[in-house]
Structure 1
Amino acid sequence: MAQLELNGVVQRYGRQTVVDGVDFRLEAGQIACLLGPSGCGKTTLLRCIAGFEEIAGGEIRLHGEVVSRAGQRLAPEKRRIGMVFQDYALFPHLSIAQNVAFGLGRKPSEDVQLRVRQLLATVGLSGQGDKYPHELSGGQQQRVALARALAPRPELILLDEPFSNLDVGLRERLSVEVREILKREGSTAVMVTHDQHEAFAIADEIGIMSEGRIQQWDVPYNLYHRPANRFVADFIGQGVLLAGTVGDNNSVHMELGSLVSDTPVECNESCSACDRGCRVDILLRPDDIVHDDASPVQAEVLHKAFRGADILYTLRLASGSEVLSLVPSHHNHALGEKIGIRLDADHVIAFKKHEECSDPACEIRLEQQVRPLTRQDPAPRNAA
């Protein structure tokens, strides 16, 4: 039985639909993340799960029990849910130990003290119990807030933009630490963020939200390499869409070369079959394009962003189209210089061009393993 299950959840403010038919389920011990731009409905959905807001349609279940549906809502304090807020919400007049113990109520004092000591050790704050929140750093305060939420052993932990007030370096480090703490405690959790690096660092599964709907619920690898639609492809990672044409023998041809799929290129059910000559947009990530001095395909360096071990190059092809390439930083090329590049793509996603199909959902997907061909190959061949 799922720990958390949402079926067709809808929430409205007046006539505005903020959450529009959301479905997902979370098994015990899993960590999920609702990821999307500001205003997409992710925080509202989290508040609905917590019981802070009623829902207009659908239902929310915890351990199979309905806790929210239209006209019915179990109070937040009866849901056995722990909450970690964006601003930590620690009590400034209470010590760290007292803050952690706050949710334990009237349990025997010895049990409370033991649980507090255990949690402070778990979050790396042993011996800090007598201090007050203002004496701790932002990262330490965040760990106290997490310890307080974990103290009563809730069935579910909700985290609302928990790292947004921290600097980038601390945010990334704390994301990893929080994941380790949640896994150590065996906790089930849902986090809300607009930062994909945080989501990738902490979550087992991620739901990409836009305009109140989940566009794709998947593991981080699939979101990056197999986006369900153009929104996900654009929101996750970096990449460009390069024009291509469907050829014979399951192939797709473009300026950089050709790709051959193990299975026929197919459109989804909202559009007709993708036949030979069909024009498509092919998603290429920076790691799909490799710097190769021996390659006959040349591209001009337009921009470069130094990233320590790597340089992200923006390159202009002969047609004027631009692509991105992530290159080891010892290959330091000047602006305006031409360098050789080649395709090295395992997964390629191609979307049917919008002007050829009036349905914006019309898209094809090459999710199979593919083999890049050079422009000099006489004809595409089926992949082995």
Structure 2
Amino acid sequence: MAQLELKGIVQRYGGHTVVDGVDFRLEAGRIACLLGPSGCGKTTLLRCIAGFEEIAGGEIVLRGETVSRPGRRIAPEQRRIGMVFQDYALFPHLTVEQNVAFGLGRRPGGEAQLRVRQLLATVGLHGQGGKYPHELSGGQQQRVALARALAPRPELILLDEPFSNLDVGLRERLSVEVREILKREGSTAIMVTHDQNEAFAMADEIGLMYEGRIQQWDVPYNLYHRPANRFVADFIGQGVLVEGTVGEGNSVAMELGTLVSDTPVECSESCTGCDCGCRVDILLRPDDIVHDDASPVQAEVLHKAFRGADILYTLRLASGTEVLSLVPSHHNHALGEKIGIRLDADHVIAFKKHDECSDAACEIQLEQRRAQPVTWAGSAG
């Protein structure tokens, strides 16, 4: 039985649909993330799960019990859900211990005190229980908020942009620490964020949202290497789309070389196989393009971003097409210099070009950025 299951969730504000038919399942002990740009519906969906809002359609099931459907909503306090808010929402007049104990209600004093001490040790705040929130750093306050949410051992923990008020360095470190804490407690959790680095650091599985729909629910590796459509490919990581042409033997030729697939080309939902001559857009990540002085393919350095161990180069090919390449920083090339590059692509995703749509159904699907990709397993030649 899934810890949480959403079935066709719809939420509207007036005539505007904010969440449009969302489905997913989350097993016990898993950490999920709702990721997406501002206004995509992820926070609204989190509020529906928490019970703060009624839903217009669908069903929310928690541990086999329906907690929301149109016309029926179990109150938030009866759902056994813990919530960590963006602004921490700590009580300023209560000590750290009192804040954490607040969620325990009327449990016996000795039992409550033991649970509070255990949680403060778990979140790295042993000996800080007598302090007040204003005496703590932002990262410490976030740990207190997490401990308070964990105190009553809820069925589910919800985290709404929990690191957005912290500086970048602390945000990255704390996201790893919070994941370890949740795993240690055996908690099931859902986090909302617009930051993919936080999502990758925290989550076992990620639902990428756009315009009220989940575009892809998957593990972080697949979101990066096997994006389900153009929106996912564009939002996750960095990369460019390079034009290619389908050839014989499941091959695709492009300016940088030829890729050979072990399966037929299927570059959109309405295509069962692409014919020779079909034009496609191929997604290339910076790590798919390798610096190689011996390569006959030359590219001009347009921009460079020093990243310590690596330099991210923006390169212009002979045709004018721009690509990205991540190169060890001891290869420090000047702007305007030409360098040799070659393909080293294990995961290359192809999409049918928008202007190549041959029927109305394909055109609509591509307009909605819902084309089905194909994963290539081949080498450049």
Q: Tell me the TM-score normalized by structure 1.
A: 0.96
User: Percent identity between the aligned chains?
Assistant: 85
**Partner amino acid for 1:61?**
V
Partner residue of 1:146?
146
Partner of 1:367: 375
1:149-188 paired onto structure 2 within 5 Å = 149-188=149-188
For residue 42 of structure 1, report the CA deviation from its aligned partner. Answer: 0.2
Amino acid at match of 2:60: I
What SS does the corresponding residue of 2:120 show, helix, strand or coil?
helix
Q: Which runs of 5+ in 1 are unaligned?
A: 374-384
Amino acid at match of 1:196: Q
* Alignment-derived partner of residue 79 in structure 1: 79
Question: 1:35-56: CA deviations, max 9, x gaps?
Answer: 0000000000000000000000
Distance in structure 2 (CA, Å) of the matches to 1:370 and 1:27: 35
Which residue number corresponds to residue 343 of structure 1?
A: 343
TM-superposed deviation, 1:372: 1.8
Q: TM-score, normalized by length of structure 2? A: 0.97
Which digits, 9 at most, give the CA deviation of each residue in 1:195-240, with x for residues without a partner? Answer: 0000000000000000000000000000000000000000000000
What is the RMSD computed on CA atoms of the aligned residues? 0.9
Tell me, in whole angstroms, the C-alpha distance in 2 between the residues paired with 1:24 and 1:218.
Answer: 10
Q: How does 1:54-203 map to 2 (within 5 A)?
A: 54-203=54-203
Give the counterpart letter for 1:16 in structure 2.
H
Contact 1:209 1:215 in 2 (8 A): yes
1:44-63 matches, cutoff 5 A: 44-63=44-63
Whole-Å separation in 1 of the counterparts to 2:200 and 2:378: 25
Q: Which amino acid aligns with 2:380?
A: P
**The residue matched to 2:97 in structure 1 has which SS?**
helix
**8 A contact 2:296–2:340 mirrored in 1:** yes
Question: Match of 1:317?
Answer: 317
* 1:107-149 Cα shifts (integer Å, max 9, x gaps): 1111111000000000000000000000000000000000000
Offset of 1:365 from its aligned partner?
A: 2.8
Residues 271 and 362 in structure 1, CA contact (< 8 A), matched pair in contact too: no
Once the two structures are TM-superposed, the CA of residue 370 in structure 1 deviates from its matched residue by 1.7
Return the alpha-carbon distance in structure 2 between the equivalents of residues 327 and 184 of structure 1. Answer: 38
Deviation at 1:268, TM superposition (A): 4.1
Amino acid at match of 2:221: Y
Asked if the contact 2:35/2:208 (under 8 Å) is kept, the reply is: yes
Partner of 2:30: 30
The equivalent residue for 1:381 is: none
What is the letter of the counterpart of residue 311 of structure 1?
I
CA distance in structure 1 between the partners assigned to 2:81 and 2:227 by the alignment: 32
- Amino acid in structure 2 at the alignment position of 1:167: D
Describe the shift of the 1:115–1:362 C-alpha distance in structure 2 as closer, same or farther (beyond 3 A): closer
**More displaced 10-residue stretch of structure 1: 357-366 or 248-257:** 357-366
User: Over residues 61-101 of structure 1, what are the superposed CA-to-partner deviations in whole Å (9 max), with x where a residue is unaligned?
Assistant: 00111000001100000000000000000000000000000
Amino acid at match of 2:54: E
Letter in 1 for 2:375: E
Supply the distance in 2 between the matched residues of 1:114 and 1:368 (Cα, whole angstroms). Answer: 55
Offset at residue 272 of structure 1 (A) = 5.6
**Is contact 1:10–1:58 with CA below 8 Å preserved after alignment?**
yes
Q: 1:366, CA displacement in angstroms?
A: 3.0
| Runs (5+) with no aligned partner, structure 2 | 358-362
Supply the distance in 2 between the matched residues of 1:193 and 1:214 (Cα, whole angstroms): 14
- After TM superposition, the runs of 4+ consecutive aligned structure 1 residues lying more than 3 A away are 361-364
Distance 1:211 1:276 in 2: 35
1:366, 1:344 → 2: CA distance? 17
Preserved CA contact (<8 Å) 1:305 1:312? yes
Does the aligned pair in 2 maintain the 1:349–1:364 contact within 8 Å?
A: no
Which letter maps to 1:340?
G
Paired residues, what number? 373
Aligned-pair distance for 1:249?
A: 0.5
